[in-house]
Structure 1
Amino acid sequence: MIGHAAGAPIILAPSWLIAAVVLTVFFAPTVRRLAPVLGDVATYTVALVFVVLLFVSVFLHELAHGLVARAHGLRVHEFAITLWGGHTSFAGTGATPRSSALIAVVGPLTNLALAALAWVAAQALPMGLVGAVLYAAAFANVFVGVFNLVPGLPLDGGRVLEAVVWRALEDRHRATVVAGWAGRVVAVAVVVWALGRPLLDGGRPSLFTVLWTVLVGGFLWNGATQAMTGSSAQRAVEGLSAARLARPAAVVPTTATLADAQRAAQAAGAGHVVVLDDHGRPVAYVDPAAAGAVPSASYPVTPVLGVCVPLPPGAVVDAAATGAVLAHEVNRVAPSSPVMALVDAGRVTGLLFTRDVVAALRPRT
């Protein structure tokens, strides 16, 4: 972490150093051609300055995303500068197609604005080393801005496409799938264009071109796939319902016998029994395996607590809990208990098993 902006930490990933070194080496020949009188140290210093300016542009791109997201009521978690440029993490429940499109498009527009500023500044200077760096910064920002507007996830243009389809279909998940497949098409197109163009011209792509094309194409394909997978997972979470997933349960006091528990379960048509203390709080539930090991003739004299699994304090969930709220409650309780008592209007009506929640998520993800 190197600082904070818009209330969120700025993370400079170690992988950024790899990109900085590669881009510096890549840009150094251009500097040497423009200013042959410079020594090797000065040449690479100027190249590094250009790379730093490029990553400042990337940061401003991400900062623009974060500021607009925050203005629309979303929480910004972090700004990260990585090997592939950067990303902004934010979350919230107030996203709409309009806000999503605005958050996405402001990043590339920032780069295009920076390109215009660099171009104007370069025009005001005589052609030289500083002017050349400004021209390079202008072209680099144009490339970053225009490329990010390509309509396919994980690019910003893909988010805009997602927002448009979301607005049309009123289904964000389907919109993400459409934009994700568009991103996959873009990934394939990048690879075909970069590797096929030299072949059509009668040559062969260099090893450097092959490596970077595969890396960029793989990044785009994986980003699109992760977006679709994440959307499926989010849809599954949104479909969670404590009332639907819970198993019906009868209740008995701590003084009950196993026979009392059996009668209560039969009367309620429930497969489980929850034991309540004197204040009506769930303290345990009957373990079917332990109860099954007791001879039926001993049920009337077997204390129900002798065949129970304790429920730790707080192992309860409201029957109205759904979606992310339910997922949060399960995550909160799971380390201490795989089972939660379902409470509906102050009454214990069932048991919610963590494995049932996980099973409800797994098929969709």
Structure 2
Amino acid sequence: MKVENVINETGQKYSPYMGGLVNHLPMAQWAVYKLSGEEDKKVDNFTKKYLQNARIDKVKEEYKKANSLEEALGNRSLYEGTLDLLKEKAQTEDIKELTKKILNKYKFGMSSGLFHTLIRVAYGVEGYNEKEKLKEELIRGLAYYITAYRESKLFKREIVGDDIFKEIKSLSSDVEIREILNNNNTLGQRIKGLYNSKIYLEKGFIIKGDADEKIKSLLSLLVPLYYKKGNIVILHCITSIHAMIILKDYYENYKEAIDILTTSILTHLIATEIYKYPKKVHSETGFSWNCLKEKAIKSKDVHDIKLTYSASVLDKIYEIDELKDISIKRIRHS
């Protein structure tokens, strides 16, 4: 079965949600397709194995109608109704224009669900650009983006990229910020507490420069940090950067979008209570990307697959060899 048919068949049956978690299947399916050299059979095989072990929420047969995107914003119970609403809109509006409209109007929702909303829409865009039938998957991604919406913020203070380690250490050790973290238990509560703090918003920072300079500074922070910590939050910060690059042409102000993403990434790191930030990866894999891709595809862990896909793309753009190191470390430790 062709990749577009596999993704659509499972996407029609299953919700973006898995209880309180995320259904990674459509994103992993596309990543397997790209990592395998676009082999449909490998996607089909992966899907069958994944469904044997995963408990994904099925789409509801009876559900409430969504009358507007505003009504559905942040309301996961309205996923099916929102999907119907977007299908109607897509009959009269160009899907790319509709995607741009949603991403720009609701730009502060890009980090919702640990960045999965942004990632799924990005994979949907990439899929639709290659396979017209995946318009369905893009619409599902947009319905997920709307119903999972949680609003982030935008820091205003600019720093030069070379100061990112000094600044993040200062932010993470700040007494008033630590107090906010101590007063909240979960990651979501900490993030909300930080965003509600005027002090935190004033002390946070974005990076000066063009889009590539901003992204390279973020990766210089995240890659060695993930290698050291192996933390799932850091992993999604990295894969969200790949998603942002895919969506570059969909934002009216791409640099501002990266600044919002930067704000969200830094806030997730602070909320995860990371205090030490290594500057280097002290390892060399010796593996080629072809080898790493083969290893990732054989893994049963969707995060091995998604990280390897993102890392391989980011290395192609920015020539950061350490991206291989974090890919093989993830595969070996999953």
Q: Sort the TM-score into its range (normalised by shorter chain).
A: under 0.3
Task: State the TM-score, normalizing by the size of structure 2.
Answer: 0.22
Which has the higher Rg, Structure 1 or Structure 2?
Answer: 1
Task: State the TM-score, normalizing by the size of structure 1.
Answer: 0.20
Which is richer in helix? 2
Higher-RCO chain (CA-CA 8 Å, sequence separation at least 6): 2
